[in-house]
Amino acid sequence: MSKYYLVDDSLLPEAFGKVIEARKMIDNGEVKNVSEAVKTVGISRASYYKYKDYVYEVQQSSWQRKAVISFLLDHKSGILSQVLNAISNRGANILTINQNIPINDSASVVISLDLRKIDGTIDELIKDINSINGTNKVNLVAIE
């Protein structure tokens, strides 16, 4: 089983970055073939083929972009709508909503969010949701 690490490029051999650069050039059509790409970036074909399937660039903008929150809602009309408005007002994007049927006048809800454009922090969003009359036990389940 493979293990993956996120490492600052200053700790890696220069060839890794050049392999990524060469692969981008090929994918974008900037060069005609591997030979031209490796010549342009200054690595050997052997280095390219040795690492091309093992080194990838991680986009920093994708860090901490998803979260899952759970909470209980009182079985009253309009509460879920208020929660969705609170999420929208913070600029988060809803990916999924799972709501169970109310039992004892309370329904459990789990929402997954895209946080790339959130205004504020996830903690502030959770406080916003928790302040809505009829929401209970608001929890951050996971964040990525």
DSSP code, position 21: H
Domain boundaries, given as residue ranges, for the chain: 12-57, 62-143
SS (H, E, C) 50-111: HHCCCCCCCCHHHCCCEEEEEEEEECCCCHHHHHHHHHHHCCCEEEEEEECCCECCEEEEEE
User: Residue 93: pLDDT above 90?
Assistant: yes
| Cα–Cα distance measured from residue 64 to residue 87, given in angstroms and rounded to the nearest whole number | 16
User: Residue 41: pLDDT above 60?
Assistant: yes
C-alpha distances in Å from residue 134, one per residue of 1, 75, 105, 108, 130: 46, 8, 11, 12, 9
Q: Residue range 73-100: average pLDDT?
A: 95
| Cα–Cα distance measured from residue 17 to residue 39, given in angstroms and rounded to the nearest whole number | 14
Neighbours of 8 (CB within 10 A): 6
Annotation: CATH topology of 62-143: Alpha-Beta Plaits (3.30.70)
Question: Backbone phi, then psi, for 123, in 5-degree steps?
Answer: -65, -40
Q: What is the pTM of this model?
A: 0.58
User: Residue 60: pLDDT above 60?
Assistant: no
Q: Which residues pair with 98 in a beta bridge?
A: 110
* pLDDT of 55: 86
* pLDDT of 94: 95
Q: Residue written as tokens 């329904």?
A: 107
